């Protein structure tokens, strides 16, 4: 409720300062000024309503922890002679 009142107070202050500071040159009978002031007041009201509304989404709880068992087999690099040179290959070793 305090946010709504403070936003209305800010909107009234801005509107009041704009009305007093505007020159009266060719205002077309006040129609342009009324449109500007109405737009500012309407924008302040709609902006205040959007700012004070609750979000439409909710936060999901975090997922449960997952425990992964280590595999019994692993890959090991092994050096071997292929008849021409020493080479490396991966070999699966199970404990």
Q: What angle do CA 41, 35, 45 make, to 5 degrees?
A: 15
Please indicate, yes or no, whether the overall pTM of this predicted structure exceeds 0.85.
no
- For 17, the enclosing helix (H) or strand (E) is helix 2-21
Q: Which two tokens stand for residue 4?
A: 């709504």
- For 82, the enclosing helix (H) or strand (E) is none
List the domain range (segments joined by +) for residue 13. 2-52
Residue 16 lies in a domain: yes
Q: What is the pLDDT of residues 4-56, one digit of tens each?
A: 887 887 888 888 776 766 665 565 666 777 888 889 999 999 988 888 877 76
Residue 30 lies in a domain: yes
Residue 6 lies in a domain: yes
């Amino acid at each position: 409720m305090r946010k709504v009142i403070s936003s209305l107070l800010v909107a009234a202050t801005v509107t009041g300062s704009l009305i007093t500071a505007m020159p009266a040159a060719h205002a077309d009978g006040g129609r342009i000024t009324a449109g500007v002031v109405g737009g500012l007041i309407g924008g302040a009201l709609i902006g205040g309503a959007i700012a004070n509304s609750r979000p439409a989404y909710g936060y999901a709880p975090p997922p449960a922890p997952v425990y992964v068992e280590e595999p019994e087999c692993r890959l090991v690099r092994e050096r071997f002679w292929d008849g021409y040179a020493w080479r490396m290959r991966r070999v699966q070793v199970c404990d």
